[in-house]
């Protein structure tokens, strides 16, 4: 099972995902971690995303979802995950 949590800061996304991780052994994926890991690898989209978040701006949703698709290529398809997005 794969779940996407999307909402404003303070809405409880991380709290809910942490419960899934603890109770059902979900893999937690967060946008911040995803951006950093892909940026460190020199991913072109992550470099573009960095130009937004390094200035305190939100990364456009279309770019975030594009990166998310690439990021998931490294995950075990049999593993349940929960993605936390702002």
Instruction: Please state the domain extents for the chain.
Output: 29-75
pLDDT of residue 66: 96
What's the mean pLDDT in 12-40?
A: 93
pLDDT of residue 11: 94
Strand partners, 5: 84
Rounded Cα distance, 43 and 37, in Å = 9
Query: DSSP labels for 26-47?
Result: PEEEEHHHHHHHHHHTT-HHHH
What confidence category does residue 16 fall into, taking pLDDT thresholds of 50, 70 and 90? Answer: very high
């Amino acid at each position: 099972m794969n779940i996407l949590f999307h909402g404003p800061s303070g809405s409880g996304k991380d709290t809910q995902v942490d419960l899934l991780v603890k109770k059902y052994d979900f893999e937690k994926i967060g946008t911040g971690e995803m951006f950093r890991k892909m940026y460190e690898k020199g991913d072109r989209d992550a470099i573009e995303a960095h130009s937004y978040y390094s200035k305190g701006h939100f990364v456009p949703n279309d770019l975030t979802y594009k990166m998310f698709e690439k990021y998931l290529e490294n995950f075990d398809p049999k593993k349940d995950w929960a993605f936390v997005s702002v």
